[in-house]
Chains A and B, each alone.
Chain A
Amino acid sequence: MLSALPTSTVEAAHADLQRRTLSKIPGNFARLIYLASTRDYNSARYYHSGLADRYSLNAAEKALELAHREVFRELATSALADLAHELELYMRSTRENPSDFFRAWQDVEPFRVVVPVGTHPTSAALFISNVRFALAVLRSNLKSPQGH
């Protein structure tokens, strides 16, 4: 169904999404969380009302899926130090108390649900492992600040 869409429409929707929304979100981790939040938990379909109004429901869905995959790929293949930096940026943007943030993220592991559907299992495992260790490092730095 989605593959029948004209590529130009999806590309236009994707560019629009980048320009109007993603470029205003600070950091790739925050973008990943945002894009994953546009995906329905039950159907795994993406939805964005503004984008769907301007293009079409399917073009918006495909554009969101593409952007989600791109941001995920970038984070999954980035160095652990860079991922930790992105995570720290995201944590600061939430304005949550850092101790509460780390406790919640280490206990609930919400980053597990931000993996795009169909991601290669090794990519998903690497990403989840890296986020766990980035959290552990950031948390230990919070207890004994030394800067990195």
Chain B
Amino acid sequence: MSEAATIVVLVFLAFVVFGGLFLLWRKPPAALDELDERDRSAPSAGPWAECPHAVIDRIFASGDSGFVRANGSERLCRAFERDRRQIALHWVWSAFDETHRILARHFRAVRSSPDLSISLEAKLVAEVLLHQILCLMLLAAIRIAGPEGLARLAGAVGNLRHQVGIVAEGFPVSAGGDFSKNSGLHIPS
């Protein structure tokens, strides 16, 4: 592939990503205000708090809607699908936001670090980018088809989110500094 073609492909990809961001940069209609409130106040939701994998698997599992369909009315099925979709969207947005915050906090902390490792920084940025792109894909898929059957993609997002947390935590304390400083975070002693 020629250099020009590569640039065109890269520009196209950038358009797709930013287009996706533009289209999807909107919280779900009823963005579970209650959930957002809990997000802010959850005492154990430390800087790297993660949703348990089993919970993610359950949100994206396909058996529950079958149970409601077999035992409930059409109206109940629709309400169930709407509810699950909102929970799934909320989880993806929270993973997206949290990963963005991890990177921002990390950059703030390592800005003045003397022992900066370019390869580790590049690895973290690459993982965060991949995570955010997968989140956007997952958001689009949930909006189009609902969360059912997307367990593998959701699992990949969950694993990457975990990986980003590990990589960010793995930086030396001297480089990491105090993540809670000026960030409004409360880290229990």
Residue numbers in A under 8 Å from B44 (CB-CB): 117-119
Q: Which residue of chain A has its CB nearest to the CB of B56?
A: A122
Report the interface size class on chain B. Answer: 35 or more
Contact between B58 and A77, CB atoms less than 8 A apart: yes
Residue numbers in A under 8 Å from B63 (CB-CB): 79-81
Residue numbers in A under 8 Å from B59 (CB-CB): 122, 126
B49 sits at the interface (CB 8 A): yes
Contact between B38 and A121, CB atoms less than 8 A apart: yes
Contact between B94 and A122, CB atoms less than 8 A apart: yes
Contact between A137 and B71, CB atoms less than 8 A apart: yes
A129 sits at the interface (CB 8 A): yes
Complexed CA–CA distance, A118 and B59 (Å): 20
Contact between B72 and A79, CB atoms less than 8 A apart: no
The B interface is mostly helix, strand or loop, or mixed, namely helix
The A interface is mostly helix, strand or loop, or mixed, namely helix
Q: Which residue of chain A has its CB nearest to the CB of B76?
A: A136
A102 sits at the interface (CB 8 A): no
Complexed CA–CA distance, A117 and B45 (Å): 11
Contact between B55 and A77, CB atoms less than 8 A apart: yes
Contact between A77 and B76, CB atoms less than 8 A apart: no
Q: Give the Cβ gap from B86 to chain A, nearest Cβ, in Å.
A: 8
On whether A79 and B67 interact (CB within 8 A), knowing A137-B72, A137-B76, the answer reads yes
Q: Which residue of chain B has its CB nearest to the CB of A81?
A: B67
Q: Give the Cβ gap from B101 to chain A, nearest Cβ, in Å.
A: 15
Q: Give the Cβ gap from A46 to chain B, nearest Cβ, in Å.
A: 15
Contact between A148 and B42, CB atoms less than 8 A apart: no
A35 sits at the interface (CB 8 A): no
User: Which one of A117, A123, A125, A137 lies within 8 Å of B68 (CB-CB)?
Assistant: A137
Contact between B87 and A118, CB atoms less than 8 A apart: no
Complexed CA–CA distance, A132 and B68 (Å): 12
On whether A125 and B35 interact (CB within 8 A), knowing A133-B76, A137-B71, A141-B71, the answer reads yes
Complexed CA–CA distance, A68 and B117 (Å): 43
Contact between A77 and B57, CB atoms less than 8 A apart: yes
Subset of 28 A-B contacts with CB under 8 Å: A73-B54, A76-B55, A76-B58, A77-B55, A77-B57, A79-B67, A81-B63, A84-B67, A118-B44, A118-B45, A119-B44, A120-B45, A121-B45, A122-B51, A122-B55, A122-B56, A125-B32, A125-B38, A125-B87, A129-B87, A130-B64, A133-B76, A133-B79, A133-B80, A136-B72, A137-B76, A146-B71, A148-B70
> Interface residues, chain A, CB within 8 Å of chain B?
73, 76-81, 84, 117-126, 129-130, 132-133, 136-137, 140-141, 146, 148
A-B residue pairs, 4 tightest by C-beta: A118-B44, A77-B54, A80-B64, A121-B38
